[in-house]
Chain A
Amino acid sequence: MSDQDRLIEHEYDGIQEFDNPMPRWWVTTFWGTIIFSGLYLLNVGPIGAGAGRIAQYEADMAAWREAHPTDQGTVDSEALLALAGDHEVLEEGKEIFARNCAACHGPDGGGVIGPNLTDNAWIHGGTIAEIHAVVSEGVLAKGMPAWGRQLTPAQVNAAVAYVWSLQGTTPANPKAAEGAVVAQ
């Protein structure tokens, strides 16, 4: 290769340069990216931004909604009450509670940022179906997340069953009662 090299006569502080042609593959890449960019701008075939990011997003959302209809199922109070008597379900619920709920409601449900869950006062209703609604859909204005978006229906049910089982327990530092007393 070096016998093809033609040295340019000039030198700078002893540095010289060859008058070599640019490698063909490099020139091809150079023009190739420019051609690609032109095609992309013109949206030629599969090359290009297509309908744009917002249209793409709307399409993705529509497809997703179709594949996952928001069917929470009808809440069956009796089935939930039955779960509250199932030792295994309560164990699972306890774990879910510790991971997701304890930060605001306290590890023993006595209430910290969120209300006390062991007393018989309820802000958004105290039937097991109402508790399920609050856990699943949240109370967004007060900072209670919609857990139905993050947990599976079975996990939500287990957590609700566990909360139900906390009734009448005695936490270490109970928060004062909030809401209306509900007779069970």
Chain B
Amino acid sequence: MTTSAPAGVVLDEFSYDDDIVRKFLFATLIWGTVGMVVGLLIALQLANPAFNLGLEFTSFGRLRPLHTNAVIFAFAGNAFFCGAYYSTQRLLKARMFSDGLSRFHFWGWQLIIVAAALTLPLGLTQAKEYAELEWPIDLAIAVVWVAFAWNFMGTILRRRERHLYVAIWFYIASIVTVAVLHIFNNLSLPAGAFKSYSLYAGVQDAFMQWWYGHNAVAFFLTTPFLGLMYYFMPKAAEGPVFSYRLSILHFWSLVFLYIWAGPHHLHYTALPEWASTLGMLFSVMLWAPSWGGMINGLLTLRGGWQKVVDDPILKFFVVGITAYGMSTFEGPMLSVKSVNALAHYTDWIIAHVHTGALGWNGFLTFGMIYWLAPRLFQAPLHSKKAASLHFWIATFGIILYVVAIYSAGVTQGLMWRAFDETGRLTYPDFVETVLRLMPMYWVRVAGGSLYIAGMLIFSWNIVQTWRKRPARYDVPVVRAAALRAPEPSQAAPSPGLLGGLAFHRRWERMPVLFTVLVTVAVAIASLAEIIPTFLIKSNVPTIASVKPYTPLELYGRDMYIREGCVNCHSQMIRPLRYETERYGEYSKPGESVYEHPFLWGSRRIGPDLAREGGKYPNLWHVRHFANPRELSPRSIMPAYPHFATAPIDFDVLARRVDAMAMLGVPYGEAVTNAIPMARAQAAEIAADIEATGGPAGLADREIVAIVAYMQRIGRDIATTGTVASRGTAP
């Protein structure tokens, strides 16, 4: 310890809790592998629908959220906790506030992950991206997160280091903001043990979701990892951080600007244009603050570049930080409306997030754990060669993955908007635009497989290192002086240094004030967009002809949610000529007023369904769900034969309609009469299916509910047919 104590000062003796760090480290290895393998499986499903395995539990729509939740919250989450528990204790010169809370955090988080892995394949989902988990799990997340926050703040208050280092600032911002985001996006009304409806509807729900979704990327995948970077990069590089001033400016600008940027996920949708514009501009303004982090990370290596050649840890950090720089340049670019018009709904977005996830989050995690393993297991890393091999395999894997998926995204985006000389869509058949991507989807499978191969080499290497651990871990005793108020004059910066930054040095000594300031920055930005979105009536002009779904249609919509259809089908036609030509009249804000939750979608692996109602006869849907390839020979949609055999659980409808009514949906007589109404409509549809030559006896089967929903979507503003006019006919 370098702290020199003046004579007469009593030093506290304590030790750091590294056992909790080891626990999170192993959880990172296990869940990382699981999450990536599920990713590989869904990549295979897009290349060949046979990989849906013919089971409802393993269809793409149910597994895609499992992949995203596993890699974000289980892999990156555990990695963040691992690094944060290690670095926080050392940066604050204090053991964690409570070992009990640390264990509660660890085991609680792992249980939540197990619950996610069980419920998502069962189709229990809120249908909001990265917030799919149903309300009981959401409550558990809130409790565990608060325990983590309490433990963390308690440690800060007991610290023996007067100033908070920049890594701690980033941890504070992450912990506070994730709590706020999680709670407000998940507000929902339960309609069963694992069933709920979002409190918000349509435009507002979409806004809240992407306020959350974008900032989950910001405050779960970016700021925590910047915090880790600020600790582990100078440690591994054995050099000082490039610029303290840059740390201050880029920290505060990131925290303040990020929150506004969410609406860039909703360009050209029914979201009011002012929100969309703010989302774009704040994203553009995020470019420099994001690059501030990259500069501070990379320039910490100045004068030490030769070390990168033979240190796999630094290699991982350099490529990881570079990937961060690339995706944070691309993010602002994608948020520009005209660029977004091409990229939205395509694989371009998937490529963008994988540059960030595989490059930034993955590589930072790998570098960090290679650095930690010898220190935590008190044995040299088993094989430096294997670590280098991991680096090269994973880098090559990322390149294959993103190059293939970028070209898939641009290809499909251009095909969607292509017109021929007669003014018709060049590719009117949607399937054609999907099939063109197949070679690229196979390259993605190859790239992803390489990345997973690297993950396995990594895990093996770490486990081998662990096996060489001593019989008992040595627990060094640390000595440091407790903080005594008031601070001695040492806090005053030497003249010339830190000019103009003395105010910030003061904030760094006051963690409560610091946390309050972060919260205020986040809250101002949030409220500035949330309040007008909810309060200004003209944002969502009402359309008199838009009515609530019938009880049977609601049941069908819940099936749509359960199967994760929203992962492949949007229900939001943009006001762009090539969209309305393909799908029909563009979607209006007033059409979504009863949509709890909104189902606008974010990716079109299949066509948009916003005007699906009435497009095909009932029998078409019956056959299409049983086997899509019978009607559209090269379709990659999973088959849903179980819809024709599974019985409708009419009993749940009373409670669901009731919940919807409580949310303000004008259900009228359906509140007391939901079940008979549903039975009558089901009988009617079943009779039509039979009369047109389809199978008999479907009146109590789920297929009629989903058909009822399909036939209703987007019809309320239509007068005839699928191409709606702005009429007000009932």
Chain A residues with a Cβ under 8 A of chain B: 1-2, 5-23, 26, 29-30, 33-34, 36-37, 40-41, 49, 52-54, 56-57, 60-61, 64, 67-68, 99-100, 103-104, 111-114, 138, 140-143, 145, 149-152, 175-176
Contact = CB atoms under 8 A, between A and B. Distances in A.
Contacts of B356: none
Interface string B604-626: 00000000001111011001000
A53 to B, nearest CB: 6
A21 B620 contact: no
A6 B617 CA distance: 75
Contact of A11 (B2, B244, B615, B721): B2
A99 B432 CA distance: 11
26 contacts: A1-B302, A8-B498, A12-B163, A13-B87, A13-B93, A16-B241, A18-B243, A19-B245, A20-B242, A20-B246, A26-B246, A26-B292, A56-B575, A57-B576, A57-B586, A60-B577, A61-B577, A103-B633, A113-B623, A138-B721, A140-B615, A141-B614, A143-B616, A143-B617, A151-B424, A175-B693
A12 B617 contact: no
A111 B281 CA distance: 55
B447 interface: no
B243 A21 contact: yes
Contact of A68 (B423, B580, B616): B423
A103 B623 CA distance: 10
A29 B287 contact: yes
Nearest to B238: A14
A68 B425 CA distance: 13
Given A9-B494, A15-B234, A15-B240, A140 B614 contact: yes
Contacts of B253: 30
A103 B281 contact: no
B721 A141 contact: yes
Nearest to A139: B721
B673 interface: no
B245 to A, nearest CB: 6
A101 to B, nearest CB: 11
B489 interface: no
A11 B181 CA distance: 34
Which interface residue of A6, A8, A138 has the most chain B CB atoms within 10 A? A8
A8 B285 contact: no
Contacts of A23: 295
B285 A149 contact: no
B371 to A, nearest CB: 13
Contacts of B295: 23, 26
B161 interface: yes
Interface string B411-436: 00000000000111100110000000
B545 interface: no
B111 interface: no
B165 interface: yes
B614 A37 contact: no
B692 interface: yes
Contacts of A57: 575-577, 580, 586
B302 A2 contact: yes
Interface in B234-292: 234-235, 240-247, 249, 253, 268, 273, 277, 280-282, 284-285, 287-289, 291-292
Given A26-B291, A26-B295, A37-B285, A8 B243 contact: no
B231 interface: yes
A27 B251 CA distance: 14
A152 B424 contact: yes
A91 to B, nearest CB: 20
A26 to B, nearest CB: 6
B631 A14 contact: no
A1 B299 CA distance: 11
A-B complex: 8 closest residue pairs judged by Cβ atoms: A140-B721, A68-B423, A30-B288, A150-B428, A57-B575, A37-B281, A20-B243, A16-B240
A165 to B, nearest CB: 23
A152 to B, nearest CB: 6
A52 B272 CA distance: 11
B245 A21 contact: yes
Contact of A113 (B240, B303, B617, B723): B617
A17 B425 contact: no
B243 A34 contact: no
Nearest to B336: A40
Contacts of A142: 617
A85 B638 CA distance: 42
A30 B289 contact: yes
Contact of A112 (B91, B616, B693): B693
Contacts of A10: 163
A141 B633 CA distance: 24
B337 interface: yes
Which interface residue of B246, B282, B289, B493 has the most chain A CB atoms within 10 A? B246
Contacts of A151: 424
A24 to B, nearest CB: 12
Nearest to B692: A113
Contacts of B425: 150
Contacts of A33: 284-285, 287-288, 332
Contact of A18 (B231, B242, B285, B620): B242
Given A29-B291, A140-B722, A19 B243 contact: yes
A68 B424 CA distance: 9
Given A9-B494, A22-B245, A104-B631, A49 B285 contact: no
Given A17-B240, A36-B281, A113-B693, 17 more contacts: A9-B497, A13-B231, A15-B231, A16-B241, A22-B243, A22-B245, A22-B249, A29-B291, A33-B285, A49-B277, A57-B586, A64-B577, A103-B632, A140-B723, A143-B615, A145-B615, A150-B429
Contacts of B423: 64, 67-68
B12 interface: no
Given A20-B246, A29-B291, A53-B268, A36 B631 contact: no
B165 A12 contact: yes
Contacts of A12: 91, 161, 163, 165
A46 B616 CA distance: 44
B302 A17 contact: no
A149 B616 CA distance: 16
Nearest to B93: A13
B620 A104 contact: yes
B617 to A, nearest CB: 4
A64 B576 CA distance: 12
A34 B282 CA distance: 9
Which interface residue of B244, B247, B576, B620 has the most chain A CB atoms within 10 A? B244
B240 A18 contact: yes
A152 B284 contact: no
Contacts of A60: 576-577
B9 to A, nearest CB: 18
Contacts of A21: 243, 245
B382 interface: no
Contacts of A67: 423
Contacts of A150: 424-425, 428-429
A100 B282 CA distance: 46
Contacts of A8: 244, 493, 497-498
B581 interface: yes
Contacts of A49: 273, 277, 337
B679 interface: no
Contacts of B163: 10, 12
Contact of A53 (B87, B249, B575, B619): B575
Contacts of B93: 13
Contacts of B497: 6, 8-9, 19
Contacts of A138: 721
Interface string B281-322: 110110111011001000000110000000000000000000
A40 B693 contact: no
